[in-house]
Amino acid sequence: MRAGESFAFGAALFPVLMRRFTKLTGRDETAGIPVLVLPFELRRKSRQVVRLETGEEAGLLLAPGTVLHTGDIVESDDGSRIRIEAAKEELMAVTASDPFSISRAAYHLGNRHTAVQIEPDRLLLAFDPVLREMLIGLGVTVVATCEPFTPEPGAYGGGHKHGHDETFAEDQALAQRAFHEHEGPE
């Protein structure tokens, strides 16, 4: 299965007869469950229309801020289930000959709020010619690759947020709670 071409952002926009997958039930690697293959950008959208391998359009209506991962099981209103799989994507693999250079590259990517998958020996990020040139200028090795992409979620689980983002209030409350636990009340 692959993601559909059309998207809807509210439950009212989904057709009445469309099957709706609304419940994230956990993870399972069991064979026999239909698979929905999605790139990262679509795995982080909580409301969208997808096309199942049968050709049927179905709605994903998950809690705002939900990010789907390989192995996640999503259940529909009628009890049917699908297993999520990360699609292969055009990425850049960044490596370096020393820890300082890869740390420096990670710093500059983070400073640009770039989604990055951190692995023990490399960084993965979506292909971007401007970032590629910046990284090469920093002296690291950048190689094109095509593989699943699961970037870091961010320090508080939701990545970088702004005041207009859907889950900003929740993330701000979490950050404030962590601050007060460490520093004590004002």
pLDDT in tens, 98-133: 999 999 999 999 999 999 999 999 999 999 999 999
Same domain, 98 and 133: yes
Burial (0-12, 13-18, 19+ Cβ within 10 Å), 174: middle
Percent of the chain residues past pLDDT 70, beyond the cut: 73
82 and 103 in a single domain? The answer is no
Q: How many domains does the chain have?
A: 2
> Does the pLDDT value for residue 186 go beyond 80?
no
Does residue 11 form part of some domain? Answer: yes
| CATH number for 95 | 3.30.70.790
174 within some domain: no
CATH number of residue 38's parent domain: 2.60.260.20
In a domain, 175, yes or no: no
Cα distances from 17 to residues 14, 99, 150, in angstroms, run 8, 55, 33
Tell me the per-residue pLDDT of 20-71, one tens digit each, with 9 for 90 and over.
888 888 887 666 788 899 999 999 998 999 987 777 888 999 998 889 999 9
Q: How confident is the model at residue 185 (pLDDT cuts 50, 70, 90)?
A: low
Instruction: Say if 122 falls within a structural domain.
Output: yes
Comparing 128 with 164, the larger pLDDT belongs to 128
Residue type present at position 22: T
Residue 179 lies inside a defined structural domain of this protein: no
> Where in the sequence is the domain holding 20, given as residue range(s)?
2-86
Residues 9 and 64 in one domain: yes
- Asked whether residue 93 falls in the same domain as residue 129, the answer is yes
Q: Are residues 23 and 71 in the same domain?
A: yes
Query: Do residue 141 and residue 77 come from a single domain?
Result: no
pLDDT in tens, 171-181: 666 766 766 67
The answer to whether 31 and 8 are in contact (CB under 8 A) is: no
pLDDT the model gives residue 16: 59
Q: Do 108 and 136 have their domain in common?
A: yes
